[in-house]
Amino acid sequence: MKTITVKYFAMFREHAGLGEETLQLDAATALDVFEQTRARHQSTEPNGHCKVAINDQMADWDAAVSDGDTVLLFPPVAGG
Amino acid sequence: MQLSATAIRCCYFRRLPVASMITIADSNIDVDELRRQMANPAAGGLCVFEGWIRNENEGRSVERLEYEVYEPLAISEGEKVLAEAMQRYPHLEAICVHRSGLLEIGDCAVWVGVAAAHRDEAFKACRYIIDQIKVRLPIWKKEHYVDGDSGWVNCERCANVV
């Protein structure tokens, strides 16, 4: 198990009802974190056009996560 | 402060201290001041894109719009975009400012300016920057409709995510 801090933004934050939480997760990749938090907050939606960052660096979904990491989950962006 | 490749080049050219070329503003964007900052004796032209808040989206009347920005990554990812634009379409300088917070109809949400020796590079670099900013930077907008409802743009298909 790893201690992972997960941060939620925009729609994700509103749905989860919180901006961040620190969890004990059995996660190897960023996608594992996404899927486990998705289950935690009772959603069945895929990652689709969402993005992820690890420790303030944009990352791929298959990027490895380590104990103590902060994973940022971004819903589809809409700048401009 | 970390400077983008664009900023570093501008510092050298103008002998002036140049801050990060992409910034997030929490109040009105002063477009006249930005245009003045782009003045460059080697430039043959300036291409500017201004994104404005419009009063309609997909058939719904919009009253105002709210931008949420995760600034640390918006800045770092924006600097990558500016550096890519410089490499693909060499130009003299580029500035981008994006708003955060609550905006009213007609407000300027994003300003991109590119000064170049010739118009082709200016147009292409400006187009590249605004297109990439829209799909890469961690920025979200929530529309507030005239009927009192509200919704996150681009999130129709992820209503239940996380």
Q: Find chain A residues with C-beta within 8 A of B135's C-beta.
A: 77, 79
> Over 80: is that where the pLDDT of B51 sits?
yes
Q: Would you call B2 an interface residue with chain A, using a CB distance cutoff of 8 Å?
A: no
Q: What is the CA radius of gyration of chain B?
A: 17
Classify residue A64: in a domain, yes or no.
yes
CB contact under 8 A, A78 and B110: no
pLDDT in tens, A53-78: 999 999 999 999 999 999 999 999 99
Classify residue A59: in a domain, yes or no.
yes
CA angle A22, A26, A28 (to 5 degrees): 105
Classify residue A60: in a domain, yes or no.
yes
Do the beta carbons of residue B52 and residue B106 sit within 8 Å? Answer: yes
Mean pLDDT, residues B139-162: 79
Residue with tokens 């009927």: B147
Do the beta carbons of residue B133 and residue B98 sit within 8 Å? Answer: yes
The confidence band for B113, taking pLDDT boundaries of 50, 70 and 90, is very high
Phi, psi for A14 (deg, rounded to 5): -65, -40
Q: What is the CA radius of gyration of chain A?
A: 12
Q: When comparing pLDDT for B142 and B8, which is higher?
A: B142
Beta bridge partners of residue B150, listed in sequence order: B144
Q: Would you call B99 an interface residue with chain A, using a CB distance cutoff of 8 Å?
A: no
Nearest C-alpha in A relative to B67: A79
CATH code matching the domain that covers B21-146, chosen among 3.40.50.1370, 3.40.50.1820, 3.30.420.40, 3.90.1170.40: 3.90.1170.40
Q: Would you call B156 an interface residue with chain A, using a CB distance cutoff of 8 Å?
A: no
Q: What is the CATH number of the domain that holds A46?
A: 3.10.20.30
pLDDT in tens, B23-36: 999 999 999 999 99
Identity (one letter) of the amino acid at A54? I
Classify residue A80: in a domain, yes or no.
no
Do the beta carbons of residue B115 and residue B37 sit within 8 Å? Answer: no
DSSP string, chain A: -EEEEEEE-HHHHHHHTSSEEEEEE--SBHHHHHHHHHHHTT-----TT-EEEETTEEE-TT-B--TT-EEEEEPPP---
Give the helix/strand (H/E) hosting B160: none
A42, burial (CB in 10 Å: exposed 0-12, middle 13-18, buried 19+):
exposed
The confidence band for B161, taking pLDDT boundaries of 50, 70 and 90, is very low
Classify residue A33: in a domain, yes or no.
yes
ipTM above 0.95, yes or no: no
Q: Find chain B residues with C-beta within 8 A of A33's C-beta.
A: none
pLDDT of residue A45: 60
pLDDT of residue B101: 98
Nearest C-alpha in A relative to B159: A11
Domains of chain A: total: 1
Q: Would you call A80 an interface residue with chain B, using a CB distance cutoff of 8 Å?
A: yes
pLDDT in tens, B59-89: 999 999 999 999 999 999 999 999 999 999 9
CB contact under 8 A, A38 and B135: no
Distance from CA of B115 to the nearest CA of A (A): 20
pLDDT in tens, A6-55: 999 999 999 899 999 999 999 999 999 999 999 999 766 667 789 999 99
Distance from CA of A16 to the nearest CA of B (A): 6
CB contact under 8 A, A77 and B134: yes
| Total residues belonging to chain B | 162
Its domain, for residue A43, covers: 2-74
pTM: predicted TM-score of the whole model, two decimal places:
0.87
